[in-house]
């Protein structure tokens, strides 16, 4: 099954909820993983089931990075807040880097996320 991670910083969580509601049908076909609070919010607002890792500042990005390193992730949607410093910036950078290393598609904005999710869904349909 296709495995997709959903992560959003606090200021981006409303955008993530809006995106997930628009793509709920597509996302319901995927095996979803998320950082703690993002996953909690998504499950409160939708019928999706998500494997919630730790909250980002407590290691959630690192846990998802480990899945990328083990070639267990197919795509990452990470709606980052570009205007606010995060205490766990090293973990965030490490996740972005390991996605580059393993060539895992990573979207950090709403529009990029739509392209990535549409692409992953199209790949499934072609199989
Ligand atoms: O901080 C995050 C990603 O770096 C997101 O963590 P939460 O989903 O727990 O808010």
What are 15-51's pLDDT values in tens digits?
999 999 999 999 999 999 999 999 999 999 999 999 9
- Judged against a pLDDT cut of 90, whether residue 123 lies above it is answered with no
ipTM of the complex: 0.98
* Domains, the chain, with CATH or none: 3-126 (3.40.50.1380)
pTM to 2 decimal places? 0.97
- Say yes or no: CB of residue 56 within 6 Å of ligand 1: yes
What are 62-113's pLDDT values in tens digits?
999 999 999 999 999 999 999 999 999 999 999 999 999 999 999 999 999 9
Q: Any catalytic annotation for residue 61?
A: yes
- DSSP for 9-75, please give it: -GGGHHHHHHHHHHTHHHHTTSEEEE-HHHHHHHHHHSS---EE---GGGTHHHHHHHHHHTT--SE
Mutate to test the pocket of ligand 1, among 36, 51, 87 (most ligand atoms within 8 A of CB): 36
């Amino acid at each position: 099954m296709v495995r997709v991670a959903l992560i959003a910083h606090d200021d981006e969580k409303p955008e993530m909820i809006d995106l997930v509601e628009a793509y709920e049908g597509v996302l319901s076909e995927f095996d979803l993983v998320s950082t703690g609070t993002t996953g909690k919010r998504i499950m409160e607002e939708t019928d999706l089931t998500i494997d919630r890792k730790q909250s980002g500042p407590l290691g959630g990005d690192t846990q998802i990075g480990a899945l990328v390193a083990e070639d267990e992730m197919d795509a990452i949607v990470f709606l980052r807040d570009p205007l606010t410093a995060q205490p766990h910036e090293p973990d965030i950078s490490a996740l972005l880097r390991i996605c580059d290393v393993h060539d895992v598609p990573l979207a950090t904005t709403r529009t990029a996320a739509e392209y990535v999710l549409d692409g992953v869904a199209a790949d499934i349909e072609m199989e």
